[in-house]
Chains A and B, each alone.
Chain A
Amino acid sequence: MTDYRSTEERLIFNDRMQRVKEGIHPRLRCRNDREDSHIEQVSTHGLNPFVDEFEEHPDTPYVINLANAIVRSWLVTEKLIYPHEAIVGILRPSYPVMEHFHWGIIPRGEEHYARFGYPSEEKARADRMASRLEPLDWPYFTAAAKRRYGAAQYRAVKEEKIFHAGGYQGHTIPNYVTLLELGLDGVLAKIDFWAEKNARDQETADFYEANRIIVRGMSAYLEQYAAYAAELGEAETDPTQARYYREIADNCAYVAHRKPVTLYQAIQLMWCLSLWDWVDCLGRVDQYLYPFYRYSVEHGDVITSEEAITSLMFKIWEGGSHNSTLSGCRPEDGSDATNELTYLFLQILRSIHDTHPRMVVRIREDVQPELMALIVKLWSEGMSDPTVVSDVNVIPALQRLGVTLWDARDYATLGCQEIEIPGKSNTGCEDGSFNVAKVLELTLRGGLVTPDTGERVGPATTPFTDCETFEALYAAFEKQLAFYTEMHCWLCSRGQEIRAANHAKLVKGPFTDGVLERGIDHDAGGPIYGYGVIETAGVAAAADSLTAIKKLVYDEGRISRETLMAALDANFVGHERERQLLLNRAPKFGNDDPEADAMAVRVLNTYWNEIAKYRSVRGGVYTGACSLLTGGISYGEKTGALPDGRCAKEPLGNTMGPRPGADHSGVTAMLASVAKLPLHKGVGGTTLNVTLPTKTMATPEQRQNVAAMIRAFMTGGGQMAQVTTANLEDLLDAKAHPERHGDLIVRVGGYSMQFVQMNEKAQDEIISRYAGDSAAG
Chain B
Amino acid sequence: MMEGIVFNIQRASTFDGPGIRTVVFLKGCPLRCLWCHNPEGLSPRPQIMYNAARCIGCGGCAAVCPRGRHALDGGVHRYAREDCTGCGACAGECFGGALALAGRRMTVEAVMAEVRRDGRYYRESGGGMTLSGGEPLAQAEFALALLRQARAEGIGTCVETSGFVPAEVIAAAAAVTGRFLFDYKATGDEMHRALCGVPQAPILDNLARLDALGAEVVLRCPIVPGCNDTDAHIAGIADTARRFGCVIEVQLMAYHRIGLGKAEQLGGAAAYEGQVPDAAAMAAYCAAITARAGKPAGIG
A-to-B contact residues, CB < 8 Å: 576-577, 580-581, 583-585, 592, 665-669, 672, 696, 699, 701-702, 704-706, 708-709, 711-712, 716, 745, 747-753, 758-762, 765, 772
| Minimum CB–CB distance for B101 against chain A, Å | 14
| Minimum CB–CB distance for B280 against chain A, Å | 11
- A–B Cβ pairs within 8 angstroms, 24 of them: A577-B96, A580-B97, A668-B11, A668-B20, A701-B18, A702-B15, A704-B125, A705-B125, A705-B127, A708-B19, A708-B20, A708-B124, A709-B125, A711-B124, A712-B123, A716-B120, A750-B15, A750-B220, A751-B23, A752-B10, A753-B258, A758-B261, A760-B261, A765-B256
Tell me whether A750 and B16 are in contact in the complex, defined as CB-CB below 8 angstroms, given that A577-B58, A585-B95, A669-B117 are known contacts: yes
Within 8 Å by CB of A709, from B37, B97, B124, B261, lies B124
**Contacting residues, chain A, for B125 (C-beta < 8 A):** 704-705, 708-709, 712
How far, in angstroms, from A592 to B126 measured CA to CA in the complex? Answer: 21
**Contacting residues, chain B, for A758 (C-beta < 8 A):** 258, 261
| Minimum CB–CB distance for A613 against chain B, Å | 35
How far, in angstroms, from A765 to B125 measured CA to CA in the complex? Answer: 31
| Minimum CB–CB distance for A153 against chain B, Å | 40
**Contacting residues, chain A, for B222 (C-beta < 8 A):** 749-750
Given contacts A580-B97, A666-B10, A666-B11, 8 further A-B contacts (CB under 8 A): A576-B58, A580-B95, A699-B298, A705-B14, A747-B15, A750-B253, A751-B23, A753-B258
Over the window 263-282 of chain B, the binary record of Cβ atoms lying under 8 Å from chain A Cβ atoms (1 yes, 0 no) is 01100000000001001000
Q: Which chain A residue has the least Cβ–Cβ distance from B100?
A: A757
**Contacting residues, chain A, for B53 (C-beta < 8 A):** 759-760
Within 8 Å by CB of A750, from B12, B37, B118, B260, lies B37
Whether A761 contacts B253 by the Cβ 8 Å rule is: no
Over the window 21-63 of chain B, the binary record of Cβ atoms lying under 8 Å from chain A Cβ atoms (1 yes, 0 no) is 0010000000000000100000000000001010010101000
Tell me whether A702 and B14 are in contact in the complex, defined as CB-CB below 8 angstroms, given that A577-B58, A580-B95, A750-B37 are known contacts: yes
Whether B276 contacts A765 by the Cβ 8 Å rule is: yes
**Contacting residues, chain A, for B264 (C-beta < 8 A):** 759
Whether B124 contacts A667 by the Cβ 8 Å rule is: no
**Contacting residues, chain B, for A581 (C-beta < 8 A):** 95
**Contacting residues, chain A, for B300 (C-beta < 8 A):** 750
| Minimum CB–CB distance for A699 against chain B, Å | 8
How far, in angstroms, from A149 to B15 measured CA to CA in the complex? Answer: 58
Over the window 116-137 of chain B, the binary record of Cβ atoms lying under 8 Å from chain A Cβ atoms (1 yes, 0 no) is 0110110111110000100000
Within 8 Å by CB of B253, from A576, A585, A696, A749, lies A749
The answer to whether B13 has its CB under 8 Å from any CB of chain A is yes
How far, in angstroms, from A758 to B257 measured CA to CA in the complex? Answer: 11
Q: Which chain A residue has the least Cβ–Cβ distance from B51?
A: A759
- Residue of B123, B124, B298 ringed by the most chain A CB atoms within 10 A: B124
Whether B11 contacts A705 by the Cβ 8 Å rule is: no
- Residue of A576, A584, A759 ringed by the most chain B CB atoms within 10 A: A759
Category for how many chain B residues contact A: 35 or more
The answer to whether B254 has its CB under 8 Å from any CB of chain A is yes
**Contacting residues, chain B, for A672 (C-beta < 8 A):** 117-118
| Minimum CB–CB distance for B22 against chain A, Å | 8
Q: Which chain A residue has the least Cβ–Cβ distance from B60?
A: A577
**Contacting residues, chain B, for A699 (C-beta < 8 A):** 298
Within 8 Å by CB of A772, from B37, B96, B279, lies B279
**Contacting residues, chain B, for A704 (C-beta < 8 A):** 125
Over the window 142-180 of chain B, the binary record of Cβ atoms lying under 8 Å from chain A Cβ atoms (1 yes, 0 no) is 000000000000000000100000000000000000000
**Contacting residues, chain A, for B96 (C-beta < 8 A):** 576-577, 580, 584
Whether B253 contacts A712 by the Cβ 8 Å rule is: no
Within 8 A of A (CB), among B236-293: 253-258, 260-261, 264-265, 276, 279
How far, in angstroms, from A666 to B279 measured CA to CA in the complex? Answer: 27
Q: Which chain B residue has the least Cβ–Cβ distance from A754?
A: B10
- Top 8 closest A-B pairs, CB basis? A759-B261, A708-B125, A580-B95, A666-B11, A666-B12, A708-B124, A577-B58, A580-B96
**Contacting residues, chain A, for B19 (C-beta < 8 A):** 705, 708
Q: Which chain B residue has the least Cβ–Cβ distance from A716?
A: B120
How far, in angstroms, from A220 to B24 measured CA to CA in the complex? Answer: 70
- Residue of B13, B18, B53, B220 ringed by the most chain A CB atoms within 10 A: B13
**Contacting residues, chain A, for B13 (C-beta < 8 A):** 666, 751-752
| Minimum CB–CB distance for B23 against chain A, Å | 7
**Contacting residues, chain A, for B255 (C-beta < 8 A):** 749
**Contacting residues, chain B, for A701 (C-beta < 8 A):** 18
**Contacting residues, chain B, for A668 (C-beta < 8 A):** 11-12, 20, 117-118, 121
| Minimum CB–CB distance for B288 against chain A, Å | 20
- Residue of B10, B121, B160, B254 ringed by the most chain A CB atoms within 10 A: B121
Whether B11 contacts A665 by the Cβ 8 Å rule is: yes
Q: Which chain A residue has the least Cβ–Cβ distance from B59?
A: A577
Tell me whether A669 and B11 are in contact in the complex, defined as CB-CB below 8 angstroms, given that A709-B125, A716-B120, A762-B261 are known contacts: yes
Whether B121 contacts A712 by the Cβ 8 Å rule is: yes
Tell me whether A708 and B121 are in contact in the complex, defined as CB-CB below 8 angstroms, given that A668-B20, A761-B261, A765-B276 are known contacts: yes
| Minimum CB–CB distance for B216 against chain A, Å | 15
Within 8 Å by CB of B95, from A577, A706, A751, A760, lies A577
How far, in angstroms, from A583 to B96 measured CA to CA in the complex? Answer: 8
**Contacting residues, chain B, for A708 (C-beta < 8 A):** 19-20, 121, 124-127
Q: Which chain B residue has the least Cβ–Cβ distance from A711?
A: B124
Q: Which chain B residue has the least Cβ–Cβ distance from A704?
A: B125
**Contacting residues, chain A, for B276 (C-beta < 8 A):** 765
How far, in angstroms, from A584 to B93 measured CA to CA in the complex? Answer: 11
